[in-house]
A and B are shown apart, each in its own frame.
Chain A
Amino acid sequence: MKKKILSLLLATTMALSLVACGGTTEEATTTETETTETEVTETETTEVETEVAMEYPDSIKVMFDGTVFTEANGRAEFEASLEGVMSEYAGKPIDIEIIQPDHSGYYDSISQTFTGDASTWPDVVLLGAAYYSSYATQGVLADITSWWENSSLKSSGRVVSEALIDALYIDGSLYGISPARGNGCVTYVKQAWLDAAGVSSLPTNYAEYTAMLQAFQDAGLGEYPLSSAGIMNAEAPYVNYLPEFFQDAYPDFYQEADGTWVDGFTQDSMVAALDRLIEAYDNGWLDPESITNDTKAVREKYFADKQGVFTYWAGTWRYTLESNLESKSQEDLPISFGNTTLVVLEPIAEVDKYIERQATVWGVTTAAENPVAVADLFYSTMLDGADGQILWSYGVEGTHWSTAAEVLITNPGTDSEKANEFAEGQFHGLVNIETGSSLYTKNHIDKLLAIADLTEDFGASIDPRAEASMEMFNQNSRIAPVIVSNDVMSKYNSEMLSTKQQLITQVVTGELSIDDAMAMYNDQYGAQVEEILASLNQ
């Protein structure tokens, strides 16, 4: 009898645990399956008609990465405030469901999400440029051309960078909106290093640039003059961390001035760039660990004064880099930082222009019950120039920013403790909830990059150093070659880009000669390159 009771208990426990694990999912699946039938019909619709009455949904599911405030940084307050703004716009209560995977694994989650049934997709999703092109052509994103052309947002005149939206058209159709420009990297040089090495004038061409690196090395500053996160970046625009060495070389497919498509990896400019990179590596100008560095590792090396030159994002990042250097205890650094100023180099003559990456895009998926209503609700509030845009730009008053007179302490109880005093009415970020080490500067939209201006002036919050670097970048940048997507490209290109990245690295470190690398590439992908070029040039 005891055995029977025991076996029953065990079986019941296991069965209950299974039910408990699967219960919620099952319920969700049932509901979601019911909506799928409707969604299939929506998917078949090739273009969203604006004549459809604005029947706003009761709730929208939004998926984004860590460029929006995370859970540990007051996301709940942001969500509640955004629901308020959207509800007011729609004239009915709107519930927002947020999906925010870990930032570093965001695109893994994106791939997994869109592999699954459409009923599990978000209504609105944030995508990188390559994913935007790919998902738009696959029918994952709804066509919002008609909505945009007839929208009050467009006719309001608030969107000052319409060219950016025009650049998002694929075969005459629009599938998403970028609320801000993509930004790009500029080269920062530590003034203290220039002083210590006796470099009085900033480099204007490659010879002067390498002479500066050599001067840093000769002066025995840090461990190496320059470090970067990889040789070729895995994401477009690929060459942005080492522009002085890549110069006009670009490893992906791009269009020549006459409109002909070419594979940048096989061009003479790439061979010349590889020569320069080998020179940098062999001479010890470039940190040999650049191969294994991620961006965080490079930033930490920069803050620890192991390097003097760092090509990184323009704008707010300049403020972040400088304020981090300021917060370092001087005894910790090999060079006494009487001057923490970073000099932003104008592009050297051979670079001509820094590259601006294609901005991330917010797209409405075809899984949304009424894509046009979702688009109207989401974009119109995001770029309303008022409360909604403030939320996306700075977050929530009282949680992320304030205008009250107060003294904010960062790094309390440490050697780096700092009091930040603000006067009444002065706009300022509040202390980072998660780390306590800095003040918030922005949410998702960087005001310096936004395509639409705020009606209320929050300019006082922008650090003049950040603004100066952004201005310099704006005057000296060009948009990265458009990422194209067609069936042939999507079949081969991601694997080819990985191979290019590996070959470039192996050439720079001396594992392969340039000729061998090119021969290997041609052997492995020659036929595919021809196929892709034929599809692009037809």
Chain B
Amino acid sequence: MKEEKKLAVVNKKPLKARIFQYRWFYVMFLPVLIFILLFNYLPMIGYRYAFYEYKSALSIKWVGLDNFVRLLSTEAFWSAFINTLQLSIVKLLLNTGMAVIISLLLNEIKNLTFKKVTQTIIYLPHFMSWVVTASVFALILSISESGLVNNLLLNLGLINDGEQIYFLGTKATWRLSYYIINIWKDTGWGTILFLATLSGINPEIYEAATIDGASRFSSMRYITLPALSNTIITVLILNLAKIMNLFESVFVLINDNVINVAQVLQTYTYDITFAAAPDFGFSTAVGLFRSLVACVLVLGCNYASKKVRNRGIV
């Protein structure tokens, strides 16, 4: 009771006094605040151009909601929107799933040197730029004589000469190739969080399970996976909020033949923004729409996070 009273007294201090009391914290926070206002909030003023026809700085005309009406009636926009959701969500599930599997496998490796070397090797692709990754895979998946995968399939007798698969050039195989390239590039990096969680599991639980006659698979099934589940959900929720941000990986792999299955909102925005006669107002409208959807997703994820973890992310 005394404690509560004391706290109440502290809270009743005048604002000025409280600011003065924590002045050094405010001083420390000030540059961060300025930074955020300058680089995060100030650029948002540009969103007003979503309501203008903006062809150059000399040609700006108020059009109200016209850009949004045009946007919602544009087939290419909806195609890009649906592709964004499909590509992002499947990529997220695959990458997370593969990261979990690889983490579990790494966790089973007893030779420390081998484990560390393996970890280093699978982390490396993450540091490769998307441009380089795309060039490397364009060579590997090429249908020419230098294409590694097609040559392998040919030598194994799985395809005949002249039946080489144009992995990055046909609709049927582009998405599969895209997912595999993403898994190759980012799965290793994704294992870090899961490995950290795994290292935190009390070894005594495993010892007890072994004494009780549990096999390694049973230990993984009944101890490791349940211990990882909270982290898996957290990773999924946090990444779900970022699914509208798909750009670079698609931009470097897209081509005219697969545009219907590959064009995402960010690449669509890029295309319409850097055309020969762009209307930046329309581009901004697309960007604003994308931001609103992303905002809804963040809030949804925050809600889900509160439900699952009893604490939000914002």
Contact = CB atoms under 8 A, between A and B. Distances in A.
Given A140-B58, A291-B169, A111 B274 contact: yes
A73 B34 CA distance: 42
Interface string A2-13: 011001101100
Interface stretch (A268-276, A368-376, A488-496): A488-496
Contacts of A504: 256
Contacts of B276: 107, 128, 130-131, 134, 494
A111 B273 contact: yes
A287 B56 CA distance: 40
A3 B24 contact: yes
Interface of A: 3-4, 7-8, 10-11, 14-15, 18, 22, 43, 107-108, 111, 114-118, 121, 128, 130-131, 134-135, 138-140, 223, 230-231, 284, 288-289, 291-292, 306, 366, 485, 489-491, 493-495, 498-499, 501-502, 504-506, 509, 511, 524
Interface in B35-72: 35, 38, 54-59
Contacts of B169: 288-289, 291-292, 509
Given A289-B169, A505-B255, A505-B256, 8 more contacts: A18-B35, A131-B276, A134-B277, A138-B58, A140-B58, A502-B257, A505-B257, A509-B169
Interface string B235-272: 00000000000000000000111011000000000011
A128 B274 CA distance: 13
Given A8-B27, A107-B274, A495-B275, A502 B259 contact: yes
A197 B59 CA distance: 58
B178 interface: no
B277 A10 contact: no
B183 interface: no
B277 A14 contact: no
B31 interface: yes
Contacts of A8: 24, 27
A524 B75 contact: yes
B25 A7 contact: yes
Contacts of A223: 144-145
Contacts of B138: 292
Contacts of A284: 162
A491 B34 CA distance: 39
A270 B254 CA distance: 25
B28 A495 contact: no
Contacts, number: 119
8 contacts: A7-B24, A7-B25, A8-B27, A14-B31, A114-B56, A289-B142, A291-B256, A502-B257
A480 to B, nearest CB: 14
Interface in B50-108: 54-59, 75-76
Interface residues of B, number: 44
Contact of B277 (A139, A485, A498): A485
B144 A494 contact: no
B206 interface: no
Contacts of B38: 18, 22
A524 B78 CA distance: 13
A11 B145 CA distance: 59
A104 B171 CA distance: 27
Interface of B: 24-25, 27-28, 30-32, 34-35, 38, 54-59, 75-76, 138, 142-145, 162, 166, 168-171, 255-257, 259-260, 271-280
A81 B95 CA distance: 56
Given A14-B35, A494-B277, A506-B257, A140 B27 contact: no
A355 B292 CA distance: 46
A11 B27 contact: yes
A332 to B, nearest CB: 14
Nearest to A524: B75
A291 B58 contact: no
Nearest to B145: A223
A491 B66 CA distance: 12
Given A10-B28, A115-B54, A509 B170 contact: yes
Given A291-B256, A292-B169, A306-B144, A118 B24 contact: no
A14 B143 contact: no
B256 A501 contact: yes
Nearest to B166: A288
B57 A117 contact: yes
Contacts of A10: 28
A301 to B, nearest CB: 8
Contacts of A140: 56, 58
B58 A366 contact: yes
Given A114-B56, A116-B57, A502-B256, A4 B24 contact: yes
A498 B271 contact: yes
Contacts of B28: 7, 10-11
A306 B34 CA distance: 58
A12 to B, nearest CB: 9
> 6 shortest A-B CB distances, which residue pairs?
A14-B31, A494-B275, A490-B277, A505-B256, A130-B276, A134-B277
Nearest to A500: B256
A43 B58 contact: yes
A478 to B, nearest CB: 22
Contacts of B30: 11, 15
A130 B168 CA distance: 31
A511 B170 contact: yes
Nearest to A139: B58
A254 B271 CA distance: 24
Given A7-B27, A8-B27, A18 B256 contact: no
Nearest to B282: A491
Nearest to B76: A495
